Amino acid sequence: MESLNKSSQSGIKGLFASFVGFLRKCIFHVLSVGPMPTHIAFIMDGNRRYARKKNLKEGAGHRVGFLAFLSTLKYGYELGVKYVTVYAFSIDNFKRRAKEVQYVMDLLDEKLEELLNQKSILDSYGVRIRFIGNLSLLNESTRVATEKAMAGTAKNDKAVLLICLAYSSTDEIVHAVQEACNEKWNKLQEMDSNERGNDSILATRAMTHKECAIKLADLERHMYLSGVPDPDILIRSSGESRLSNFLLWQTTYCHLYSPAALWPEISLWTLLWAILNFQQAEAYLEKKKKLA
């Protein structure tokens, strides 16, 4: 009798899951009638506050937050979003207590391994992982884990997950300026070596200095997110409206959405409301882009 009850409960759960899945597909189909985002970025804020709110052990909020991240990732790719960017760890976060930083790094190593072992979400949606940021700041084990994750998903080409780790927007901009300057300097050195013995050195040098002036395109080519379209929507959980040094260069015409829910509380409905708000603002945002 007990086994019969368990079988019945399992059948009911299966039917309910099928119904929820069908309902979700219907909602996604209706939503897709309007303009859909290509790129959504997330600031996953509120893991520590969630742990305090629920009286959980220190660090437990990050574990629950990882489950919210997986669900949100799945819903995004089901909706046809090609690029998802998440702010996993800021350069400023290294200033936190060493124990907390190490916990987050260990959790990241663990979850990356878990993702690669299961690969259900990554392979079913063809997701390639890219890590963005000053990865030289990471410890060796985390750096190895990121390289393994990127290599393990390199052949996937339908969607991209960009994980900003040891990242800040100001660091990205400084990096781009430095790389652009180095590139131009090397070009000048090469031209100078070719001009030796030439009677028109001064005229040629004036021309080359003009050609070697750093342009906007030079900086964008050396950004960490080079080749990735700017985000259409940036969602920051916990009701905060600050960008916190995240994608400052890329969010000029981005729709910002700040739900009150802490990151572990983020749900499908949060994502749907963000897209609905974006669809209402999309015409205005496109108009602003054209006027720029």
Q: Answer yes or no: do 63 and 119 share one domain.
A: yes
Q: Is residue 283 part of a domain?
A: yes
Count of domains forming the chain: 2
232 is catalytic: no
**Residues near 89 by beta carbon (within 8 Å), at least 6 away in sequence:** 104, 108, 133, 164, 165, 166, 167
Q: Answer yes or no: do 98 and 233 share one domain.
A: yes
pLDDT score, position 77: 92
Q: Answer yes or no: do 98 and 199 share one domain.
A: no
Q: Answer yes or no: do 59 and 204 share one domain.
A: no
Q: Is residue 132 part of a domain?
A: yes
Q: Answer yes or no: do 163 and 237 share one domain.
A: yes
pLDDT score, position 212: 72
Q: Answer yes or no: do 49 and 129 share one domain.
A: yes
Q: Is residue 251 part of a domain?
A: yes
pLDDT score, position 13: 62
Q: Answer yes or no: do 150 and 235 share one domain.
A: yes
Q: Answer yes or no: do 132 and 55 share one domain.
A: yes
Q: Is residue 84 part of a domain?
A: yes
Q: Answer yes or no: do 159 and 33 share one domain.
A: yes
Q: Would you state the torsion angle of the CA atoms of residues 146, 148, 150, 154, taken in this order, to the nearest 10 degrees?
A: 180
Q: Answer yes or no: do 212 and 251 share one domain.
A: no
CATH assignment of the domain containing 66 = 3.40.1180.10
Strands 255-257 and 127-132: unpaired
Tell which residue, 169, 110, 170, 166, has the closest CA to residue 138. Answer: 166
Residue 157 in contact with residue 126, Cβ under 8 Å? yes
Q: Answer yes or no: do 50 and 173 share one domain.
A: no
DSSP string, 127-153: EEEEEES-GGGS-HHHHHHHHHHHHHT
pLDDT score, position 123: 83
Which member of 45, 106, 123, 218 is catalytic? 45
* Tens digits of pLDDT across the chain (292 residues): 555 555 555 656 666 567 666 788 888 888 888 999 999 999 999 999 999 999 988 788 988 999 999 999 999 999 999 999 999 999 999 998 888 888 888 888 888 888 777 666 788 899 999 999 999 999 999 999 999 999 989 999 999 999 999 999 999 999 999 999 998 888 777 776 766 555 555 555 555 666 678 889 999 999 999 999 999 999 999 999 899 999 999 999 999 999 999 999 999 999 999 999 999 999 999 888 888 7
Q: Is residue 64 part of a domain?
A: yes
Q: Answer yes or no: do 109 and 218 share one domain.
A: no
* Residue where a domain terminates, one of 202, 223, 244: 223
pLDDT score, position 255: 96
Q: Is residue 7 part of a domain?
A: no
C-alpha torsion sign, points 96, 97, 102, 108: negative
pLDDT score, position 214: 84
Show the domain range for 180.
169-223
Tokens 């209706």, located at residue: 30
Q: Is residue 18 part of a domain?
A: no
How far is Cα of residue 215 from the mean position of the Cα atoms in its chain? Answer: 26
Question: What whole-number distance in Å separates Cα of residue 281 and Cα of residue 170?
Answer: 28
Q: Is residue 79 part of a domain?
A: yes
